[in-house]
Structure formats: structure tokens, C-alpha cells
Amino acid sequence: MGRDKSADACWVGFDLGGTKMMAVVFDASFKPLGRARKRTHSKDGKEPAVDRMTRTIREALAEARRGDEDLAGVGIGFPGPLDLVKGVVLQAPNLGWKNFPLRDELEDRFSCPVVVGNDVDVGTYGEYRFGAAAGARCVLGVFPGTGIGGACIYEGAILHGARASCMEIGHMKVVPRGPLCGCGGRGCLESVSSRLAIAAAAAAAIYRGEAPHLAKLAGTDVSEIRSAALAESIAAGDRAIEMIVRQAARHIGTAVANAVNLLAPDLVVLGGGLIEALPKIMVEECAARAEEDVMPSFRGTFRVVPAKLGDDAGVFGAAALAANPEIWS
């Protein structure tokens, strides 16, 4: 399936997050032409997610003054388990999907090639092509959020398994027999360094009276203790919250050191909302611990940097993947 790439040909990068979805239309030089953003679920919860995705893409096309006939390809970044060969979403409980043929569904609707990839894979690829990791030989991407996603770009290709994404750095064990993780294991990086884990520790600090500024900003509701609130409370002097965040960043550094020992990346990119809100603390602590924990021969061979593209990393990477699907094979 394909179309002639005329002067008006364009690619769409689509990022499907937990609560929001975004589509951006790019020309052949990856200049953004139009964008649209929606909540993942409609207010009444009745509009199927794939219909909502379709409308979002068409609204972005309309802003770009393009139509379905101009689409050369669509790239999707999806935050969940996938069959990469078939473009099938294996499980997405929040969308009511199980073994959902997302690629085929969208190819039928838009009559153009569609590539479906893991959201952290395409976000890291976006940073490699257009952001903080441009020109690197081997890039490790680590994106702390509700969970912690990882990805590796090796000589321009996204590292993955025969059918599935890999680099599940969030489930690397960093605290032997430590806290219970959502995966069922203990001591995973996610259990001690995800935003959810940080928020839970921060709520406990509030209960103990150790974080008065955060108490005023967010209270003890873990869902309200977001990255921006953590940053504001640290700036206002909540020392206990700063120590919680620093410890979480050090655990990420330990996981990064393990990955460096395996992959020898020349660059490690930290991305996501937590990094955007607290770049200095997160990057400095992670880099220092990683440098301390790697094999001596790897010290000084890699850098740890914050991502540059923010929310656009995923859409840039997804569009670039759609334009160069051979890197996925």
C-alpha cells in the first residue's frame, strides 16, 4: 500500500498518551504543518477511541490544508504491549482493546501505510532524529512517568525483539526484594522512581508534616501530586520532597549504569514530564550515580542529557518512522 509522494505529500505523527492524544502533520522536510489534540476519551465515554483518533488526524490535516489523499503515511506511538509485526494492540484496558488490529483499521480508513510502535521507542527516535540525541551512535532513552519506559536507538535503528518492543528498563531490579511493582515483581525501578512512586512517598511526607508547601499545593491525594507541584514545593523549601526526588533519580542512575554495561551508549536521554519539571536534579543525580555504578572502563564514555522536544518527541519520531519504515524491519 502506498501513494506517489507529490509536492503536497505529508506524514502524520500520532501520540496516544494515557489521557491525551495528539496528531501533527509534517511535510517531507518534517516541518510541522498542522496539529490537533484531544482527550483520549470523549466526555460521555461513548465515542470509540479509534473514531476519536481518526477525527484528530483529520482535524490536523484540515489545519495543514491537506486531505486524506495527501497522506504518504501515518506513524503511531502507543503506550502498551504490541505485536509490532502485525500492528496489533495486545492489551489496552483503558480503551477496552484486546488484540485490536490498529494498523489495519487505520490503513482501511486512510488508504495509506500505517506503522504502530511503542511510545517510548518513537519518542526516543524523535530525539535521535531531531532533538537532544542527534548524531549519536547509540542512544538510551529513559522516560519516567506513571511508569518508566526505555528505548535504544542503535546506529539509526530502533532496537526491538522479533515481535515486541524491548528495553523495559522500568522493570530492571534496582532494590533487591524491594517494594511491590505493578508487574508483580519486587524492587523494580518503577516501584521506587516512577512519578507514582515519588507521589506516594511525598504523600507520606505530607502526613508526617515534612512538606508544608506541597501540602498546600496538592494535599495528600496522590493523583494531585504531579511533576509541576513537586518542582514548586522543592523551590519553596520542602527539603523532604527534594530528598525523595533525588533518591528516585539515583535509582534511575543505577538502572542506567546496568544498561550502559550492556549497550555502551554514547548518550542517555531522560525525557517526560518529571524531567521537564526538574531537569537539574534528575539529570545531575542520575548522571552521578550512573558514572559511579558502571564498570570502570565505561566511565567517561557517555553523557546524560535532558530531552529537547518535550511533548513533540513522540509525534516527530512517529512521523519519521512512517517515512522510514525500513528501520523497523
Q: Is the pLDDT of residue 45 over 90?
A: no
- Specify the CATH superfamily of domain 135-307: ATPase, nucleotide binding domain (3.30.420.40)
**Residue 23 grid cell:** 496528531
**For 35, phi and psi rounded to 5 degrees?**
-145, 160
Q: Is the pLDDT of residue 157 over 90?
A: yes
Give the torsion sign (CA, 160, 162, 168, 173). Answer: negative
> What's the CA gap between 64 and 49, in Å, rounded?
23
Mean pLDDT value of segment 47-60: 94
Residue 93: other Cβ atoms inside 10 A:
8
Q: Is the pLDDT of residue 82 over 70?
A: yes
In the numeric block, the cell 508544608 is attached to: 212
**Residue 74 grid cell:** 501515518
Q: Which pLDDT score, from 0 to 100, does residue 146 have? A: 87
Q: Locate CATH 3.30.420.40 in the chain.
A: 10-124+312-328, 135-307
Residue 171: other Cβ atoms inside 10 A:
19
The DSSP result for 124-158, as a single string, is HHHHHHHSTTTT-SEEEEEEESSSEEEEEEETTEE
Contact 111, 187 (CB under 8 A): no
- CATH code for the structural domain at 10-124+312-328: 3.30.420.40
Q: Is the pLDDT of residue 204 over 70?
A: yes
Q: Is the pLDDT of residue 4 over 60?
A: no
| Nearest CA-CA partner of 176 in 166, 185, 165 | 185
Q: Is the pLDDT of residue 242 over 60?
A: yes
Q: Is the pLDDT of residue 211 over 60?
A: yes
> What's the CA gap between 50 and 91, in Å, rounded?
14
> What's the CA gap between 209 and 221, in Å, rounded?
15
